[in-house]
């Protein structure tokens, strides 16, 4: 798995309008306005500083276990959230070994950090094994389409963007850099793998999931009112991220 600029990312994310007006409403929609996690035990894979897990608890989950390979992220999470129902483990998803414990697993902007298809399969298989027989995985990843065309200005506007550098030739499994921005400047970067959506679906089914859905991100009404639809046009054409829902049943 790729190394990650934990502190730079954590500090910058708090000011991203993409986090507020794209990611947050997209997560709510992906979780069916939170009904998918209501009274459920949830595994938060790549939990970072724990903020999304906290939102999941606040919106009705019974318990959330956050998992992240970053010691710094887990320390911030433990120091920020003291609820006994919100637990944290410093562990890579590649080492995950929790059998049939969870109703729902969420994995937001994590699977692209697997270095190749084999690592992707291992991560997804470990998540599959952690879920109950009626379990669901909900993930957000870069939209694996051939006309994926991220722009630096999107990173400056929304907080993060994949850098194609001078080569726009996209192929399945290509290693790329994702850059994180603060005040219009790059404050950190990390390597990710660009997987086609067909690869995600294939690997999910090879890992045992029976049904796979892809859903587009959404923009908040507040975001459109404040910035206008045109502000989000390049991000949504085509969508730079995609939601995946995978079902064990």
Q: What is the pLDDT of residues 226-244, one digit of tens each?
A: 999 999 999 999 999 999 9
Distance CA(19)–CA(241), nearest Å, equals 12
- Closest-CA residue to 117 (of 44, 179, 248, 207): 207
Alpha carbon distance 245, 135 (integer Å): 11
The torsion angle over the Cα atoms of residues 207, 5, 9 and 228, rounded to 10 degrees, is -70
Q: Which SS3 state, helix, strand or coil, does residue 62 take?
A: coil
Band of pLDDT at residue 184, cut at 50, 70 and 90: confident
Report the alpha-carbon distance of residue 186 to residue 12 in Å, rounded: 10
Task: Tell me what the pLDDT averaged over the chain comes to.
Answer: 93
pTM exceeding 0.85:
yes
In a domain, 76, yes or no: yes
The 3-state DSSP composition of the chain as helix, strand, coil percent (nearest 5) reads: 35, 30, 35
151: in domain:
no
Cα-flanking dihedrals φ and ψ of residue 52, to 5°?
A: -70, -40
Number of domains present in the structure of the chain: 1
* Positive or negative: CA dihedral 12, 16, 20, 25: negative
- The answer to whether residues 147 and 238 touch, using CB atoms and an 8 Å cutoff, is yes
* Residue 54 is assigned to a structural domain of this protein: yes
- Among the listed ranges 8-12, 18-22, 155-159, 194-198, which one has the minimum average pLDDT value? 8-12
The CB density around residue 152, as the number of other CB atoms within 10 Å, is 14
Residue 118 in any domain: the answer is yes
CB 56 within 8 A of CB 35: no
Report the distance separating Cα 223 and Cα 209, nearest Å: 35
pLDDT class for 32, splitting at 50, 70, 90? very high
Domain of residue 203 covers 6-143+195-247
Report yes or no on 173 lying in a domain: no
Residue 109 is assigned to a structural domain of this protein: yes
pLDDT at position 19 is 86
Residue 137 lies in a domain: yes
pLDDT tens track for 111-159: 999 999 999 999 999 999 999 999 999 999 999 999 998 988 898 889 8
**Would you state the pLDDT for residue 16?**
72
Kindly report the CATH number assigned to the domain that includes residue 120: 3.40.50.150
Q: Is residue 205 part of a domain?
A: yes
């Amino acid at each position: 798995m790729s190394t990650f600029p934990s502190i730079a990312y954590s500090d910058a994310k708090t000011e991203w309008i993409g986090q507020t007006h794209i990611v947050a409403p997209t997560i709510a929609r992906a979780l069916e306005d939170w009904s998918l996690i209501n009274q459920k035990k949830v595994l938060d894979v790549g939990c970072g500083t724990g903020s999304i897990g906290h939102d999941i608890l606040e919106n009705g989950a019974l318990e959330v276990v956050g998992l992240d390979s970053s010691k710094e992220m887990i320390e911030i999470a433990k120091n920020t959230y003291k609820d006994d129902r919100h637990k944290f483990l410093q562990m890579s998803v590649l080492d995950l070994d929790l059998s049939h414990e969870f109703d729902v697993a969420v994995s937001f902007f994590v699977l692209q950090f697997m270095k190749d298809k084999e690592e992707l399969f291992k991560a997804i298989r470990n998540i599959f094994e952690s879920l109950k027989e009626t379990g669901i995985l909900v993930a957000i990843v870069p939209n694996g389409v051939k006309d994926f065309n991220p722009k630096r200005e999107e990173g400056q506007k929304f907080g993060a963007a994949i850098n194609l550098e001078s080569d726009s030739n996209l192929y399945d499994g290509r290693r790329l850099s994702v850059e994180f921005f603060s005040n219009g400047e790059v404050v950190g970067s990390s390597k990710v793998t660009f997987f086609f959506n067909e690869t995600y679906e294939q690997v999910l089914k090879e890992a045992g999931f029976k049904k796979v859905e892809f859903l587009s991100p959404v923009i908040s009404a507040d975001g459109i009112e404040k910035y206008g639809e045109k502000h989000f046009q390049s991000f949504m054409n085509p969508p730079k991220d995609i939601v995946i829902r995978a079902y064990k049943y």
